[in-house]
Amino acid sequence: MPEDYLPGLVPLLKAAVERSPTMIASSINVASSQAGVLAGISPMLPQLSGSAQYLWSKESTLHGPSSAPTSGLYYSLGVTQNLFEWGALKNAAVIARLNRDIAERQYSDAYRMLAISIREQYMILITKHIVLRNARFALKLANENLQVAQARFDAGNSSEAEIGNVKLAVEQAQLDADAAQEDFSYADRMLTRLAGVDVLAEEQVPIELPHPAFAPEMADAIVTGFVGGGDESTFQSQIYKMEIDADRRNYKIAKVRLLPKVSFGAGASYSNQSEPVGNTINQVGVQAESYNVAANWAIFDGFATRAAKEQALDAIATAKHQMQTFVDQSVDQVYDMRKELELSYRAMKLAEVHNGLIEAEVKRIGDDKGLGYASQATVDAGIMNQNATQLNQALARNNFYSRWTEFVSTTGVDPVISMLSPRYGR
């Protein structure tokens, strides 16, 4: 993987788990789904309620005498428990847990996709660093040419037009260098914003993409494992399976909506009432207990239950169709990615051979200069050519790294997932 060759990539991938805006949003969704689990099991637990009041009252008739005031303390405590609802409450609780598990798989899949983007953006930043280096070298040569041209002009050996063209070349080289600097800085900001970290200093960004090792037999084994059932290990496949399970349980819940539901209740209350009677006060305390078993039966709900069952069956069929479509498309995609991977590797090898030839030529020119057979201008021209081929080589390696990363990630064997908590794993 790219991070095995580029150590600077590892801290970005680790930091992104906690600090990336993408993962922060996904973690909020997971927390919300966890709250949904509590809401899902609450109907299965006893419900306790209580009340208390202190009452003072006085009665009178119009234009007549008033009664003596009475006062009293009243409080009560009640508990209810659903006893039997044909498995509906249990299925609702399981659905809540499935929704949480789906959110966790979505969190993992979001990080998988984020890791792909961070890797690709980091490698793009490296290639832009090479472009910046090349532009700065071209600007250096342009300034050196200007010094030579200025000396010739001052000596009367060149025209105004000749030195004007050299000055224009310097301005163009400066423009190219400034544009390359801004391009690099913008890519730097986008990468660090994506990962949720501070902007990288230029010296922290490598100026070379190492040669990646490639084992075709490993790629073939990954394809074989994926086509043979490994597609079920992908997060999206797991999500579809959980959605199908949830839809089936929704259907079971809908089936029992019109069946009797049984619950249990118990209550206790106490009242203490005081009433003045003549020269005495009567005080009465009453304590009561009650217990009940109740059955509620919704006999007809205007075909709402029938509609709920049909909707649940349609949801099951839709989820199954989506899952099969995903599997078929994924298999086709993996086959195509394997072929593209091979083509990308061949293109990279050609770029590396070309760069090797140019490097050998530059070395030969350098040796000739040491022997007095070549000028510095010839050496500089060779270095410019070498810089261009190094950029092409980096772009070819970048393309191969990106295709390999997407291939491994799509097949569900991306090792970057180990950076997540085990709760988000498979």
Residue 112 Cα to chain centre, angstroms = 7
Do 274 and 71 touch, CB atoms closer than 8 A? yes
Q: In what side-by-side order are the strands of the sheet with 280-296?
A: 47-57, 70-84, 261-277, 280-296
Model pTM score? 0.79
On whether the CB atoms of residues 262 and 295 are closer than 8 A, the answer is: yes
Q: What is the pLDDT of residues 89-147, one digit of tens each?
A: 888 888 888 888 888 888 888 888 899 999 999 999 999 999 999 999 999 988 988 88
Question: What does 241-274 look like in DSSP terms, one character per residue?
Answer: HHHHHHHHHHHHHHHTTTS-EEEEEEEEEEEEEE
CB atoms within 10 A of CB 72: 18
Taking only the tens place, the pLDDT of each residue in 25-46 is: 888 888 888 888 888 888 888 8
Residue 396 to residue 373: CA distance in whole angstroms: 34
Residue 50's DSSP bridge partners are: 77
Cβ atoms of residues 112 and 235 within 8 Å: yes
Tokens 């190492």 belong to 210
At which residue do the structure tokens 């234009």 appear? Answer: 63
Per-residue pLDDT tens for 287-330? 888 888 888 888 887 888 889 889 999 989 998 888 888 888 88
Q: How many Å is the Cα radius of gyration of the chain?
A: 38
- Measured CA to CA, the distance from residue 144 to residue 23 in angstroms comes to 50
Q: What is the DSSP annotation of 308-336? A: HHHHHHHHHHHHHHHHHHHHHHHHHHHHH
Measure CA 18 to chain center.
11
Instruction: Map tokens 């310097």 to a residue.
Output: 170
Give the span between the Cα atoms of 296 and 18, in whole angstroms: 49
